[in-house]
Structure 1
């Protein structure tokens, strides 16, 4: 008898895939930073770009199902951070 996959199982699978993808992105970032030749740098850079796109797709699918809730930042906090970094530039 085959077990029916529930939404909770799907959520757990998606969360695990997203966590793995984030780990892969971290490795690729280090590959880009530490690469000694332009060919290696470019290869890691392309792999990172592909991984980031996959991560974005996973997030979008999870958010659409309500599995990745986010809080909106308060505008006053956003403005305070923006002001802080603008003052550091000039």
Structure 2
């Protein structure tokens, strides 16, 4: 009848919605937003400023360039592993 791969997914759903009554409901997009929730939980406020959780050693360190390397791709601008743990990982390799 038609080439399913050639049609965009939404058009394909609209066409097949009338054909199949037992179509599964669309999934919620909760899993893709879990990373944003986790990023805010990694920061703590203290009297000396924000503290960031190192995902390797599990300790909180001041969230600055002295303890964490810079990473412009991340929301807070810092890597998720502290500099001491990165150095340890490099020595093990």
Class of the TM-score when normalised by the shorter of the 2 chains: under 0.3
TM-score (norm 2): 0.26
Give the number of the structure whose alpha-carbon radius of gyration is greater.
2
Higher relative contact order (Cα pairs below 8 Å, separated by 6+ residues): 1
TM-score (norm 1): 0.26
